[in-house]
Structure 1
Amino acid sequence: MTHHSYDVIVAGVGAMGSAACWHLAKRGLKVLGLERFNLGHAMGSSHGMTRIIRLAYFEGSHYVPIVRRAHELWEQTGTEAGMKLLHVTGSLDLAPEGAGPVESSLQSCLDHGLSHERLDGPDITRRFPGFNLPAGHVGLWQPDGGFVASEKAIYAHVGLAQSRGAEIRTNEPLLDWTPTAQGGVVVRTERGTYSAGRLVITSGGWIADAVPALAKRVSTVRQAIGWFTTRRPELFRPDVFPVFILSVEEGTFYGFPLYEHPGFKLGGPHFGREPMDPRDDDRTPSPRQVALIRECLARYLPDAAGEPLTLKGCVYSVSPDEDFIIDSVPGVPQAVFASACSGHGFKFASAIGEILADLSTSGQSAFDLKPFALDRFAA
């Protein structure tokens, strides 16, 4: 067994872990990133080519400052890595008038001075003829939304981190870790034992293995995503069609314009996720979820309702209130974690990596993290 020392160890090199590695390494710290699978694997929640970024945030206005920073960082990181990560298409929230999502997104825009436009059904159909919405649906248009090239983003962060000296070890899961009397940590894997002054835990669906305090607070679920043959691809190009969140009687779905795949991508139903054990290697999407996605396409996006070209399953870690958990491990301030992002976390990854780097180096963040504290679940 080998033993090496680092300033910071990052356990889990997916979306947030790769960003943390980059932000820590560019501060001159000696960083080790440990990933249980291959880099860019499809066993977690970062694959599938694209992830939505929305600044109008119906989940709560308190997210907007962080997602605005993430928007800036995705552009900066893409420039530094020499690849385009952020694609601005505008974002559209769609729901029955008075149901809540559009009104909440509107409020987040008003709270933070975001450009926006409220659209009625005819406005939506006229501007985006790919939609066939039910009567009574309205929309909230925000021009700065779009999508992040998710798999490229992980590669960009890792490449940049390595350029600053970070060591990334794949197919090497963390087995266990212990705090030391000196205020650091010792981490053990099958290939070695490593020590560090700080530990960052970003292991997604496996987070409770490293942070037992989360075992009763975090559940793991499967979500389906698919790419489908389109009859009229000209309606769904990125220059004419936005990312969107669609709330209908079948559930809440999220979709993208065409990008590097001949099929139209739709995921969901967001709140129809199914429990699973992340240790189960089967990532086949649920037939029930796929059927609901196809029903949604047939009814509301009929020109994108062709045969499936690609179907995938995605693993989410979910908190009881669907909000993130970003905190230090109880009683161990030198170990911080971010998890349970409940299926809406990737867009924030660039900023959460920076937040985790701040917490690891100074114990503080420029953002108000109280809404994401673990102790909000205390009885």
Structure 2
Amino acid sequence: MSQVFDVIVLGVGGMGSATCWHLARRGQRVLGLERFDIPHAMGSSHGVNRIIRLAYFEHPSYVPLLRRAYANWREAEVLFGEPLLFITGSVDAGPAQSRVVAGAVDACRLHDLPHELLPARELNARFPGYALPEGHLALLQPEGGFVASERAIVAHVALAQGAGAEIRARERALGWEPTAAGGVRVRTERGTYEAGRLVLAAGAWMQDFVPALAGRAVPERQVLGWFQPTQPAAFALGRFPVFNALFDEGHFYGFPVWGLPGFKIGLYHHLRETGPAETIDREVHPRDEALLRQALRRYFPQADGPTMALRTCLFTNTPDEHFVLDTLPDLSQVVVASPCSGHGYKFCSVIGEILADLATTGETRFDIGLHGLARLG
């Protein structure tokens, strides 16, 4: 006999955990299914923290979503009783006409965001942890920072459970199918469940559940590094803004010291290694550290101390690197969420609200026109 719910959420990572909470607080009978632990280190939401920023160079339409995300993060941390959102300021840096700088400027001007445009020399003087090269420009936006990503998943799950949601970890879904009554049936290693609606938030495993995303939701190996600064004060919380920076060596991002005893840095698209989530290399190798240290030594030399930690995670990229937030064309009871192409975690709190909208009413007040499935063909 199948157990019956209003909504089943498949995947209880960043997006799925927030969706479970937003659904449960609306009185929905919710089942969240996660194949790994909660939280876990197999997907895209671990590594202690994730950047959040309002000066969004990727597309100005993200800014209204971010404003709501900030509000939702603040509400969640109050209800959970633990800080989740930390404001450090954010830096978007690179050549003046680069997409990173020009896009951030456009977003700030369009949405009237406070910001400063600083030449490299001035930014380096204000924040000694930086050594940006001559000729680079930096946009400093005071409201950027980071979200405690793993703790935020714990918070969303705890809040969802408190509102009546049933969350099951270490239960792998084997597949799903529509029912004759217009709902869905999900089979797992442990049982069968039915619901009126299904939210698919399986991250790097989305292709397993949405065949239309095969070749369009591509997992990519990413490596994060933490390095002990030789000048700790320059990278302390409150002294060092988070950053996105376009250098000769690639597009890097980083954080002040927090959560682990080191300055955190990563390179978007790292070594551009892609493949099925099950087979991507989870180990860290000397070449991974060398790739991060080349930027460390040149642009953040006061952080070029001993290695504290190196970890892999997965980005799952669409061709245009925008999210997928939609219902299946012929099955409106099935909501598809993610992949988020390496920049989506900061939106989890509002995406959970959007997915709850789609799973209960079939529509949302938020502008998600950029994120439809049809654009992927």
TM-score normalized with structure 1 length = 0.97
What SS does the corresponding residue of 1:66 show, helix, strand or coil? Answer: helix
In the aligned structure 1, how far is the partner of 2:374 from the partner of 2:256?
39
Query: Hey, what does 2:278 align to over in structure 1?
Result: 279
**Separation (CA, whole Å) in 1 of partners of 2:284 and 2:298:** 21
Q: Retained in 1: the 8 A contact 2:223–2:270? A: no
Aligned equivalents of 2:171, 2:297: Cα separation in 1: 43
Q: Which amino acid aligns with 1:265?
A: K
Which residue in the other structure is 1:301 paired with? 300
**Mapped contact 1:251–1:272 kept (Cα < 8 A):** no
Alignment of 1:1-379 (within 5 A): 3-270=2-269, 272-280=271-279, 282-285=281-284, 287-378=286-377
Per the TM alignment, residue 285 of structure 1 is displaced from its structure 2 partner at its CA by 3.2
Q: Unpaired runs of 5+ in structure 1?
A: none
CA deviation vs aligned residue, 1:256-296 (integer Å, no higher than 9, x gap): 01112111100114464311321137412354343221100
Q: Could you list the per-position Cα deviations for residues 75-117 of structure 1 after superposition, in whole angstroms to 9, with x for gaps in the alignment?
A: 1100110010000011000101222211110100111111111
Distance 1:117 1:47 in 2: 31
Deviation of 1:307 after TM superposition, in Å, equals 2.1
Report the count of equivalent residues: 377
User: Quick check: 1:224–1:286 contact (8 Å CA) kept in 2?
Assistant: no
Q: Which runs of 4+ in 1 moved over 2 A?
A: 269-273, 285-290
Cα 1:281–1:106, aligned 2, differ >3 Å: closer, same or farther? closer
User: What's the secondary structure of 1:37's corresponding residue?
Assistant: coil
Percent identity of equivalent pairs: 53
Matched residue of 1:114: which SS?
Answer: coil
Output the aligned Cα RMSD: 1.2
Once the two structures are TM-superposed, the CA of residue 316 in structure 1 deviates from its matched residue by 1.2
C-alpha distance in structure 1 between counterparts of 2:80 and 2:105, whole Å: 34
Cα distance in 2, alignment partners of residues 67 and 343 from structure 1: 16
Read off the aligned partner of 2:68 and give its amino acid letter: R
1:146-175 Cα distance to aligned partner (Å, 9 max, x none)? 000000000000000000111111111111
Distance 1:58 1:270 in 2: 17
Q: Which amino acid aligns with 1:264?
A: F
Q: Structure 2: state its 5+ residue gaps.
A: none
Q: State TM-score, norm by structure 2.
A: 0.98
- Alignment partner of 1:175: what SS? strand
Cα distance between partner residues in 2 of 1:183 and 1:114: 45
Q: Which SS does the other structure have where 1:74 is aligned? A: helix
Q: 1:281 to 1:169 in 2, by over 3 A?
A: farther
Measured at CA, do residues 360 and 142 of structure 1 come closer, stay the same or move farther in structure 2, by a change above 3 Å?
Answer: same
